Structure 1
Amino acid sequence: MVRYSSLLGVALLALAPIQAGADVTATYQRPGAVSTASALIIEVASNGDVRAGNDDRGYYLWTNGKGYDVRPGPGGPTVIRTADTAAARAGIRPASEIMQPWLPVDTVSINGRKGTRYFISGARHNPGAMPLVISRDPSLAILAAGHRRLVAMQESSFPGADSPERVSFREVIAQGAPIDLLGSQLVSISTAAIPSTRFRVPAAPVAAATVREHQAAVRAATNPAAPTPQDMLHRQDRFIKRAVWASDRLWLLTERGTLSSVAPGETNRRTETTPGPAADICVAGAALVILGVDGQLSRLEDRSWHAMQRLDLNGEAVQALSCTDQRVIAVSRSRLVVSAGARQRTVALSTPLIGPIVRTAPFDTGTTLLLGLAKGEWGGGLERIDTNTGAVSEVPGLGGPINGVGPEPGRPGCVVATVGLIHFFPSGQVVEACGDKVRRLYYKPYTMQKSWPADPPKLPFETVPFYALTAAADGLWLAGGDGLYAITASRPITFKIMPPFEQIDGVDVSFAVPGLALVRTDIDAHVSLGGGAPLLVAR
C-alpha cells in the first residue's frame, strides 16, 4: 500500500472546497532520517491548490480544479493529467487489495502533538506495520483538507474499487490531519505565503492517447491472455538479432536464424527462404548478404540466393558480420575471417570475446574492426580488432553495453558509440572515441529540471539509454529510449520525438520518419529487465 506516491497517475473525485485561510506548508520525515531528500512536503494554498511530494522525486499537483502527476522525465518533468490516467484505468482493479479496516488503538504524542493512532486490523504487532496517527487540532484544519484532496486523488486511480481498508482510510482521514503518515511524521508546519509558481503545471501534459497506450501495455503485461501457438511464434519473432535495409525492404533476422522482411505500406511480414539456418546478415553495396551457420556466404539477387564463399569458422558460432564494398568480416569468439574478392584470411584473436553477448555493433575502418558488445546487466565494451594481426584491445573508459558504433560527422578518425541499458533503472550516454581518447558527447538525465550540467564528473543515477545508430546522408541518427537524435558536423545534437510504431505480425515496426526504419527487439530480455529496445536503420 502506497500513499501519495509520485509514480501513481490518478483522476480526481469531487471534493468540497478547502477551507479558506493562510497558506500551509507541512514537512513529513521518517524518524532518524539524516537527509531531507526523502521528505514529503505538502503545500496547501489559501485558494485550495495542493502540491504534495518532493521537488526531486516528483509530486501530485491540484491546481485550477484539475489534478496532475508530475515525475522526473527525460530532460525535464513529465506531466500526466490524473483524469487521463483514471480514464485509461477504467474497469481495472488493483492487483491486490487489503480486506481489513483501519482501527483505532491508542492515543500518542508525535513531536508535541497528540493524536489517535490507527493500525490495520490484526497488523499492530507485525514487524514493520506502519501506523496512521490523526490529530483533530483545529490549527491543522487546512492541512487536513489538503490531505483529503490527496486521498481522493489516489483513490480515483482505480475507480470503483472499495476495499475495507480503502473505505476505512477515507473515514479516518476525514477526522483530521495525519501527524504520522505510515511512518513519516509531521516535523514542521509553516503558514508563510507560498509563491503561486509552486502550483503551476511545469510542462505540457502527456497526450491522453499515450497514457492509454501505456496503461494497455501494463494491463497486457500483468494480465496476459493465454497465448495461442501463433502468439508464441510471434513472440519468438520479436527476438531480433539484426535489422538491415536492402531492395527497398526492411530485413529482420531473429536469434533462431529465421529471416523475414516488410516494406512500407505492407500489413504483413514476408517469411523469407534462406539457403540454410542464418547466423547473421549485412548489406554489401545494395545487396543483402547472409552468412549461414555453416559459414556459407550468399548474396540475394533478383530474389534468389547466389553462393559466394564458405568461410572457415572452425565450427564456432558467429558473433558479428560486417560488410563494406571492399570486404566481408565474420567474427567468432576466438577468430576473425576476412573475405575480399575470391580470397579469405583467418586470423586468431589475441584475446577471445567472453561473456553473454546478445548483440554486437561492428564498424570497419579499413584496417581495424571496431566491435561494440552488448551484454545487458553484465556490461559490454568497445573492442578494437586489428584485422591483419588479430590483436584485440578494448577502448577504455566507455562502460556499459555498446549498442551502436559509427563515424563521427566532421571528425575524421573518430567514432560515436551509444551506451544504453534498462535493468531496473535506465542508464546511457553517447560517447566519442578518437583512438584511446574518449569523451562524453551527450547524456540526458531523468530529472525535474529543464537544464542540467553538460559534462558532470559522474552521471546521474537515471539517464536516457541509447541504442542503435545509423549513418545517413546528413550525419548520424541515434535511437534513444525517448526518441531519435541527430548528430551533424559542427551542430548541436538535435532531438525528435519517437515516431509511432505499428505491429506487423507481432513485431513493432515504424516507417514514419523519412529515410529511416525502426523495429523493436526483445533480445535484451535475456540479460536485462528493460523490455524492448529500438533498432534503427537508414533506408
Structure 2
Amino acid sequence: MRQARFARWSVLSRATTLVTVGLLWALLLPRSANAVEPVRAGQESSLIRAVFVDGRLWLLSDAGELSAIEPSGSEREPQHLPEPALDLCVSHGQPQVVTGEEATAWTIRTRAANGTWATTGDVPRHDDRLIAMRCADSGMTTLLSHTRLIEMDGQGRTRSVDLQGTLPPGIVSATYDDEGALYVAINGGEWGGGLQRIDRLTGTVTPIERKGADICSGPLNGACDPVNGITAEPWNPRCLAVAVGLVHMMAHGRIVQVCGNDIRELYAKPYVSAFGAEFFRNAPSKETTPFFGLIASGGSLWAAGTDGLYRIDASGKATMRPLPAFKTIGGGSRSASTIR
C-alpha cells in the first residue's frame, strides 16, 4: 500500500559570492528508489531531484522527465532524452543525468554548452536497481545501486565494488563523498532513514548514528530521523553537517555535526505545528523545526527549514529570514532568494 510522504527539496547554487536558493515543495510517493513511475496527470509535482546550474533550475520527476526553468521565466522547458532520466547532478558546471532503467546498461549523459547531450559512458546492469548518482569536481561520477558502488572516471573507465551490507529503505535525499567513502542521506519518512557511510574500497555499509536511552532519542537516530542534506562544515571541512527533518502529524528536526565518532546536535529550535498545538495544548510542545536542505557558503551553513532560511555559524548560533512567496510554474512551486 502506498502512503504519502512529504519532503522539501533545496536547490542551491553559488555564483561568485552570491547563492541563489530555490525551495520546491514536492509530494513524493515511496517506491523502489529511483524506479521510473508511469507518466500521469500532475506528474510535475512529483519531483525527485533539482539543481541550479548554468543559470537555470533543472528539475527531474519520478517519471524520468527532465525540464529547466529560467530564473525569471514562467514556463518549464522539457529536455528530450533517448530514455527516462533516473538521477541528476552537476558535472563541470553542466547538468548530468543517468538514463536507462529498463535497458541492459545505464548511460551517463552530460549537457554540452551548445545544448546537446553527450554520452559520457555506459555502465552494464547486473540485475540491480539504481539508487543515486553523485558527481565530483574531479570528473568522477559515482553510481549507487542497491547492490553495488560504481565509479566512472572522466575517460569512461569504470570500477565496481559489491556492497557489504544493506541500505535502509527510503529515498536517497542527498549524497556527499570524499576519497575514502560515499555518504548517503536516507529519507524514509516516518520510518526514519538516517546517514550511511559506504567504503569505496570494500563496499562496507556503516550507519552513522548516536542514539539516546529513550525511543527516538539522540542527535542522529536512524530509526526515527530522515536525513535531507549533507555538507562539510565550512569552519572544519573534516566534519560533516547533516539536516534532519520530518513532518508527520507532528514535526521534528535539527542540524547535526558529525566529526568521526563525535556526533552531536549543532542547532535545533522549538516549533509548533497546527497538529502539535492541539496535541500539546496542556503541556510544553516537544516539536522542533524540520530542515529539508543544507549547504555551506561564505563561512556559514545555510539550512532550509519549514518556516524560513537559516544561517548557522560555528558556535551553533542561527539567524533566520522568512521564505519569499512561492510562485507556481508548470504545476510546481518555486521560491527564490539571494543570500550573501
- TM-score, with length taken from structure 2: 0.76
Residue pair 2:267, 2:316 contacting (<8 A) in 1 also: no
| Aligned counterparts of 1:406 and 1:396: Cα–Cα separation in 2 | 16
> Residue 378 of structure 1 aligns with which residue?
191
CA apart distance, 1:238: 1.1
Q: 1:354 aligns with which of 158, 168, 174?
A: 168
> Residue 471 of structure 1 aligns with which residue?
296
The alpha-carbon distance between structure 1 residues 411 and 359, as it changes in their structure 2 partners (threshold 3 A), is: same
CA apart distance, 1:311: 1.8
- Percent identity for Structure 1 against Structure 2: 35
The alpha-carbon distance between structure 1 residues 447 and 267, as it changes in their structure 2 partners (threshold 3 A), is: closer
| Aligned counterparts of 1:486 and 1:275: Cα–Cα separation in 2 | 41
Residue pair 2:96, 2:109 contacting (<8 A) in 1 also: yes
Residue pair 2:234, 2:296 contacting (<8 A) in 1 also: no
> Residue 256 of structure 2 aligns with which residue?
431
| Aligned counterparts of 2:191 and 2:316: Cα–Cα separation in 1 | 34
> Residue 149 of structure 2 aligns with which residue?
336
CA apart distance, 1:353: 1.8
Read off the aligned partner of 2:127 and give its amino acid letter. Answer: G
The alpha-carbon distance between structure 1 residues 490 and 461, as it changes in their structure 2 partners (threshold 3 A), is: closer
Query: Which protein has the bigger strand share?
Result: 2
1:260 aligns with 2:67: yes
| Aligned counterparts of 2:339 and 2:228: Cα–Cα separation in 1 | 21
CA deviation vs aligned residue, 1:302-348 (integer Å, no higher than 9, x gap) = 21000011123423222111111221111111111011222211111
Residue pair 2:168, 2:193 contacting (<8 A) in 1 also: no
Relative contact order: is structure 1 or structure 2 higher (C-alpha 8 Å, sep ≥ 6)?
2
- Look up the SS of the partner of 2:190 in the other structure: helix
1:245 aligns with 2:52: yes
CA deviation vs aligned residue, 1:34-91 (integer Å, no higher than 9, x gap) = xxxxxxxxxxxxxxxxxxxxxxxxxxxxxxxxxxxxxxxxxxxxxxxxxxxxxxxxxx
Residue pair 1:250, 1:263 contacting (<8 A) in 2 also: yes
Read off the aligned partner of 1:238 and give its amino acid letter. Answer: S
The alpha-carbon distance between structure 1 residues 460 and 441, as it changes in their structure 2 partners (threshold 3 A), is: farther
Residue pair 1:416, 1:431 contacting (<8 A) in 2 also: yes
CA apart distance, 1:361: 0.9
CA apart distance, 1:379: 0.6
Q: 2:177 aligns with which of 339, 352, 364?
A: 364
| Aligned counterparts of 1:420 and 1:401: Cα–Cα separation in 2 | 6
Q: How does 1:384-463 map to 2 (within 5 A)?
A: 384-397=197-210, 398-399=220-221, 400-446=225-271, 461-463=286-288
Q: How does 1:140-155 map to 2 (within 5 A)?
A: none
Q: 1:304 aligns with which of 116, 120, 139?
A: 116
- TM-score, with length taken from structure 1: 0.48
CA apart distance, 1:491: 6.8
CA apart distance, 1:271: 1.2
CA apart distance, 1:366: 2.3
1:290 aligns with 2:97: yes
| Aligned counterparts of 1:498 and 1:353: Cα–Cα separation in 2 | 34
The alpha-carbon distance between structure 1 residues 368 and 420, as it changes in their structure 2 partners (threshold 3 A), is: same
Q: Which runs of 5+ in 1 are unaligned?
A: 1-231, 449-458, 517-539
> Residue 317 of structure 1 aligns with which residue?
129
1:278 aligns with 2:85: yes
The alpha-carbon distance between structure 1 residues 309 and 473, as it changes in their structure 2 partners (threshold 3 A), is: farther
Q: How does 1:190-201 map to 2 (within 5 A)?
A: none
Residue pair 1:312, 1:337 contacting (<8 A) in 2 also: no
CA deviation vs aligned residue, 1:343-387 (integer Å, no higher than 9, x gap) = 2111111112232x1342100122211111000011101001111
1:510 aligns with 2:317: no
CA deviation vs aligned residue, 1:379-406 (integer Å, no higher than 9, x gap) = 1010011111111101022121000000
Q: Which runs of 5+ in 2 are unaligned?
A: 1-39, 211-219, 274-283
Of structures 1 and 2, the larger Rg is shown by 1
Residue pair 2:303, 2:309 contacting (<8 A) in 1 also: yes
| Aligned counterparts of 2:327 and 2:118: Cα–Cα separation in 1 | 33
- Look up the SS of the partner of 2:83 in the other structure: coil
Residue pair 1:334, 1:353 contacting (<8 A) in 2 also: no
Residue pair 1:429, 1:466 contacting (<8 A) in 2 also: yes
> Residue 47 of structure 1 aligns with which residue?
none
**How many positions carry a matched residue from both structures?**
272
Read off the aligned partner of 1:271 and give its amino acid letter. Answer: P
Read off the aligned partner of 1:384 and give its amino acid letter. Answer: R
| Aligned counterparts of 2:316 and 2:287: Cα–Cα separation in 1 | 26
Read off the aligned partner of 1:426 and give its amino acid letter. Answer: A
Read off the aligned partner of 2:187 and give its amino acid letter. Answer: A
CA apart distance, 1:438: 0.5
Q: How does 1:169-208 map to 2 (within 5 A)?
A: none
CA deviation vs aligned residue, 1:231-277 (integer Å, no higher than 9, x gap) = x63x2211110001121100000111111110111011111112311
